[in-house]
Amino acid sequence: VRGHGCLDAELLEQMEEILIRGDVGVETTAKLLEGLKEKSRAAGQLKPGQILAILRQQIEEILGDERSKESSLPLSSTPHVILVAGVNGTGKTTSIAKLAKIYLDRGRTVLLASCDTFRAAANEQLEIWARRLGVGMVKNQPGADPAAVAFDALRAAQARGIDVLIIDTAGRLHTKSTLMEELKKIKRVIGKQIQNGPHETLLVLDATVGQNAISQARLFHEALGLSGILLAKLDGTAKGGIVIAIKDRLNIPVSYIGIGENLDDLERFDVGKFVGALFS
Amino acid sequence: ELTRRLNSALRDLRGRGKLSEKIVDEALRDVRRAMLEADVNYQVAKDFIRRVREKAIGQEVLKSVRPAQVVVKIVHDELVQLLGGEASTLDLSSSGSTVIMLVGLQGSGKTTVAGKLALHLRSRGKKTLLVAADVYRPAAGDQLSLLGEQIQVPVYVASGKKPVEICAKAKERARREGIDAVLLDTAGRWHIDKEMMQELVDIRRKVAPDEILLVADAMTGQEAVNLAKEFDALLDLSGVVLTKMDGDARGGAALSLRAVTGKPIKYVGMGEKLDALEPFYPDRMASRILG
Ligand SMILES: Nc1nc2c(ncn2[C@@H]2O[C@H](COP(=O)(O)OP(=O)(O)OP(=O)(O)O)[C@@H](O)[C@H]2O)c(=O)[nH]1
Ligand SMILES: Nc1nc2c(ncn2[C@@H]2O[C@H](COP(=O)(O)OP(=O)(O)OP(=O)(O)O)[C@@H](O)[C@H]2O)c(=O)[nH]1
Ligand SMILES: [Mg+2]
Ligand SMILES: [Mg+2]
């Protein structure tokens, strides 16, 4: 990292280290530092405090999104269908339970659907959460077609006048095309049964994952068209800076963050808070 | 990919017999970038580049060879040496039951690795016992029991008991029944969760495992360093298992884990099925990291 005008090399290197270690990635870090150099060129003299403020502002501009300013719980039809997908072990099943709680706390009725027909005890895991929440759950026969289970769950939700249907899917690597086709089929089936369905498609990302999250976001987005990211496991030491690159390149906003293993550990994404934590 | 990029970067710098500082620094800028893009930790990459720089400067360059190739070879060899070392096998030498404890962050693949290792051991004629020491995750016991059923390995589940007691009881049962290998599947936890890390320390003290394996996701980012440091400091790991290597993560975490703990990567998970366990090949990993 070379020094630039009134930005000395050592300070720039410190900023670079903070960003890289926050999993922001090489390319996005370079872009942010380049923007910083331009601003310093224009401003002439910059104090260290201003440098941090400029970086924070740049990141907030990238992450800010009008969509997240809408009513925090858009319910477009009955039921409002949320499809949840992501790579293995990122926190989908647990996040779905937490999401259900948010809706229940606002007086909505919720139905859960377990479309993970592969993982050992996937039904049992979601069933325990459903029981804790006091909500219904559509389970599957292991080995059944997940799209058929999704279809049955949607019909049930429509018949019972349920407000929100949340669909849990099996974890899968984005590089496995047959598994990605399976997801596309689930989405098609939902879309045929209800207009604009699924109304939300969330990608659950693990905050401890590095640059591979970009590849995950790209391929899941190509397959499904994502409405938002749920960044789970942000209660550890990882900063999840990868969402900046994802927003910058794919324009996918972060909708929620997971901050623990219990039902209350899900929050709507707060850009200011997130950027503050990145530099703490 | 890296060689191609370096070849174009160094195109105009024809090494005259030896690698100059200028050529080496130019090449290593690209190497460092490749490593960071592969999720190698910032500090680990810095240290690695510094070591390679010292080895590379002044190196001979044959007339028939491009300077980029020489640098990449030095980098690749150094990476292989760092990643490699001891053979990747389980230490089954103890008389009586060998106790293998699996630890790691939430969702890294521990329960699946427990099943994979159990199948691997059973197919080598070892009488194996799986132990459900995760009492927190909903249906954790069911999950492990189902895996055990799939591969015909018994599973010890004791509802209502605490993990330390479960592991102790399982070890007793293993001794009574002449079981060769006991696999302890623990709950995922943060390296910064004092209480949960203390639980692992307590299990270790009570049961004295022969192997403590850190199960880590191949796509782990910069924090691989911190989690490895903490788990190793408290438990003195015997090795690492890198999971989900069947994806397209470059796997720089492997270098970080190895650099920080000095412990061998013993196996890699190459899929969701229980037969998807492979030994770790340092040269393949090095090529993957460098891209
Ligand atoms: N600390 C913490 N742990 C989490 C969070 N979200 C999920 N977990 C844990 O991560 C592990 C995996 O969670 P799951 O909900 O089973 O993940 P999944 O994506 O459904 O996994 P697969 O279905 O196997 O792909 C569990 O141990 C959860 O308790 C979070 O926000 N914070
Ligand atoms: N593709 C792939 N998936 C894997 C691999 N290893 C584990 N998984 C998947 O990763 C997810 C999490 O695996 P688990 O074994 O439940 O992880 P865990 O560490 O026990 O999770 P917790 O107990 O909640 O901390 C599951 O969907 C597994 O099928 C692997 O090598 N490749
Ligand atoms: Mg799940
Ligand atoms: Mg487990």
Q: What is the mean pLDDT of residues B91-106?
A: 88
Q: Are B186 and B102 in contact (CB under 8 A)?
A: yes
User: Which string of b and e fits A22-40 if b means at least 16 CB within 10 Å?
Assistant: bbbbbbbbebbbebbbebb
DSSP letter string, B203-223: HHHHH--SEEEEEEETTB-TT
Alpha-carbon distances of A29 from A12, A34, A81, A232, rounded to whole Å: 11, 8, 36, 22
- How many angstroms separate the alpha carbon of residue B111 from the centre of ligand 4? 4
Distance from CA of A17 to the nearest CA of B (A): 7
Q: At what angle do helices B110-122 and B140-151 cross, to 10 degrees?
A: 20
Is the pLDDT at B22 greater than 90? The verdict is: no
Q: Is the CB of A10 under 6 A from ligand 1?
A: no
What would the mean pLDDT of B63-76 be, rounded to a whole number?
A: 86
Which residues fall within 8 angstroms of residue B221, CB to CB, at 6 or more apart? A23, A208, A209, A210, A211, A238, A242, B39, B253
Whether B105 and B189 have beta carbons less than 8 Å apart is answered as yes
Higher pLDDT: A66 or A74? It is: A66
Asked if the model's pLDDT at residue A70 lies above 60, the reply is: no
Angle between helices A26-43 and A48-63 (to 10 degrees): 130
Nearest chain A residue (CA) to B225: A21
Tell me the H-state helices in chain B: 2-9, 21-37, 42-56, 67-83, 110-122, 140-151, 163-176, 194-207, 224-235, 253-261, 282-290
d(CA B229, CA B233): 6
Q: Does the structure show a pLDDT above 70 at A69?
A: no
B 91-120: CB under 8 A from A: 105-109
pLDDT bracket for residue B19 (50, 70, 90): confident
Ligand 2 neighbour B269 (Cβ under 6 A): yes
Distance A172 CA to ligand 2 centre (A): 10
Question: Which two tokens mark B72?
Answer: 């990449």
Count Cα atoms within 13 angstroms, Cβ side, for A243: 32
Chain A residues with CB under 8 Å of B252 CB are 210
Atom of ligand 2 nearest to the CA of B140: 23
Residue by residue, DSSP assigns A136-200 as: EEE---TTS-HHHHHHHHHHHHHHHT-SEEEEEE----TT-HHHHHHHHHHHHHHHHHSTT-SSE
More confident residue, B1 or B59: B59
- pLDDT per residue over A149-159, tens digit each? 999 999 999 99
Closest by alpha carbon to A116, among A96, A143, A98?
Answer: A143
Residue-level pLDDT at A8: 79
- The 10s digit of each residue's pLDDT in B168-222 is 999 999 999 999 999 999 999 999 999 999 999 999 999 999 999 999 999 999 9
Please give the pLDDT value at position A65. 85
pLDDT given for residue A142 in this prediction: 81
